[in-house]
Amino acid sequence: MKHDDTPRSVRIAVGLWLAIAVFVLFTTAGLWFQRGEVQRLTGWTSGQVTSFLGTLTAVAVIFVVAYAWLTRLFLKRKNWARIALSLIAIVHMIWILFVGISASSLVTLLLICAAIVFTWQARTAQWLAEVREQ
């Protein structure tokens, strides 16, 4: 597949999905450096903070792997990957709302919304349909 036959909407969607994955990794890693602040804000013991951050990290890695894998398949014109990306993103948004809103989670929510918009644009659907027609 030549790169130049990929529509702009697809390239933007792919960039956004990958940006989400990278952003989630960096913000999760950043929390480990702020564990003292997390402990101060929550009043939790060091063990509770470690357990909380461990859970957040495990979930973040699951989302990152899912985004990276599904984005790769989406770029290979797998329509089901587009659907799966959107479903994973919805689960991710619910997870963010469950864990709590912060500045970084708002950025993640905005990136997810933008990625979904570009993933479902008419030109993207047309690009995916071209493969089924061949």
Query: What average pLDDT does the segment 54-70 reach?
Result: 97
DSSP code at position 6: S
Query: What average pLDDT does the segment 69-77 reach?
Result: 96
CA distance 67 to 17: 6
CA distances from 41 to 19, 27, 55 (A): 29, 17, 18
pLDDT of 134 over the 80 cut: no
pLDDT at 131: 79
Q: State the virtual CA torsion across 43, 48, 50, 53 in degrees, nearest 10.
A: -80
pLDDT at 1: 45
| Domain ranges for the chain | 3-133
Q: Per the confidence metrics, is the pTM higher than 0.75?
A: yes
Q: State the virtual CA torsion across 120, 126, 132, 134 in degrees, nearest 10.
A: -160
Q: List the structure tokens of 85.
A: 């990306």
Query: What average pLDDT does the segment 79-103 reach?
Result: 94
Q: Which tens digits make up the pLDDT trace of 99-118?
A: 888 899 999 999 999 999 99
Taking phi first (over 0 means left), then psi (-120 to 50 degrees means alpha), and beta for anything else, what does residue 43 get?
A: left
Q: Which tens digits make up the pLDDT trace of 4-43?
A: 689 999 999 999 999 999 999 999 999 999 999 999 999 9
The amino acid at residue 19 is A
pLDDT at 5: 82
